[in-house]
Amino acid sequence: MRLRGTGRLRRAINRFFRRVRPQAVILLYHRVVEVPADPQLLCVKPVHFAAHLAHVRQNYRPVSLTALNEALQQGEVPDRAVVLTFDDGYADNLHHAKPILERYAVPATVFVTAGKIDNRREFWWDELERLLLLPDALPERLELTINGRKYSWTLEGTGGPERFRPERYRYWNITLKDDPTPRHKCYRELCALLRPLTEAARQAVLAELVSLTGADPLGRPEYRPLTTDEVRALAAGGLVTVGAHTLTHPVLAALPAEEQQREIEESKRRLESILGQPVTSFSYPYGAKGDYTPETLAMVRQAGFVCACANFADTVWRGSDPFQLPRFLIRDWDRDEFAEQVRAWFRE
């Protein structure tokens, strides 16, 4: 027999303990740069990033991911701690983010996609934006073969008598429900189709798209990944720690076990070869709970990593799994909005 009201009481008790127990927040950034458009919402302007760090420095306890994990191993969490992390490994993490981190003495971990180092090609989502959302004109009809299946999109009007003006749609992003042009609909659908592919299959589609559009296969310099020398410069001084983010940024859960293992272990090996020191932290590409499996967690542990970050929203407390650390995704907020978000996450 279940007593009436016990569910509400249990939830109230849980809310109470979530407020009073020590907790930490891990922030997830990708880029610190100002760009004309940001359809994936990955970019934070440098002025906003500086405002974020100023607020963290003044109101919370900035700690490194390493320090947080060491506390977790002791069954503790530094209360009101804030940890900064970056995913992917864009060059602007060094050139724009690190100087601001140094200004405010805030540590961070940058998870680098090891197979993209020294690569002049953009990350696939950026390349797709460049190929579909920026050209003056596109073919009236686009036909692609993806994993043996044919897809087509009608794009008439995108190259009509009036030149396509991407600046008109600079505020559009994939979180919005509506697609203002056939290009945007195609971009959204291709993002979903390319995401679970292997790197080889994804690059085959992009190569076909480059051929059909007549675009330059090389990317925009301001969107490029880190080089080998830049990875070393990023880690120099110890304020920024480099972690692994696989070789090619796949959905690990979509890969066979042997491919998952190669992505995990080889990314660690390459980064350690560049840095000449152990790489002990990892983050799962995309990072939602469906993007990795219990077998993935075991592989990350067996590879010698001591902690791993995911991408689902929650605070870190002493019972958190060090191989599924939750993070809060950061957008291009001004200081007031950022402060309100962090306050809500800590349930102050």
For the stretch 137-156, pLDDT in tens is 899 999 999 989 999 999 86
Q: Which of 55-64, 120-129, 153-162 has the lowest mean pLDDT?
A: 153-162
CATH at residue 285: 3.20.20.370
The arithmetic mean of pLDDT across residues 271-291, rounded, is: 98
| Same domain for 129 and 98 | no
Number of Cβ within 10 Å of residue 47's Cβ equals 13
- For residue 21, what pLDDT is reported? 79
State the Cα–Cα distance between residues 37 and 182, nearest whole angstrom: 17
The arithmetic mean of pLDDT across residues 205-216, rounded, is: 93
Specify the pTM.
Answer: 0.93
Percent of the residues in the chain that have a pLDDT greater than 90, as a whole number: 87
pLDDT band at 347 (very low <50, low <70, confident <90, very high): confident
Q: Is residue 2 part of a domain?
A: no
Q: Which of 108-117, 161-170, 219-228, 306-315 has the lowest mean pLDDT?
A: 161-170
| Same domain for 92 and 60 | yes
Residues 6+ apart with CB under 8 A from 275: 231, 232, 235, 242
| Same domain for 234 and 108 | yes
Which of the listed residues 186, 221, 256 is the one where a domain comes to its end? Answer: 221
- For residue 156, what pLDDT is reported? 67
For the stretch 50-84, pLDDT in tens is 999 999 999 999 999 999 999 999 999 999 999 99
Tokens 């992505």, residue located: 263
Which of the listed residues 221, 255, 271 is the one where a domain comes to its end? Answer: 221
The dihedrals phi and psi of 220, each to the nearest 5 degrees, come to: -75, 130
Cβ distance 314 to 24 under 8 Å? no
Q: Please tell me which residue, 203 or 9, carries the higher pLDDT value.
A: 203
| Same domain for 242 and 304 | yes
Q: Is residue 137 part of a domain?
A: yes
Domain that holds residue 169: 124-221
Cβ distance 251 to 257 under 8 Å? no
Cβ distance 242 to 228 under 8 Å? no
Residue 162: both structure tokens together: 């009036």
Residue 338 pLDDT > 80: yes
pLDDT band at 111 (very low <50, low <70, confident <90, very high): very high
| Same domain for 233 and 200 | no
State the Cα–Cα distance between residues 36 and 171, nearest whole angstrom: 9
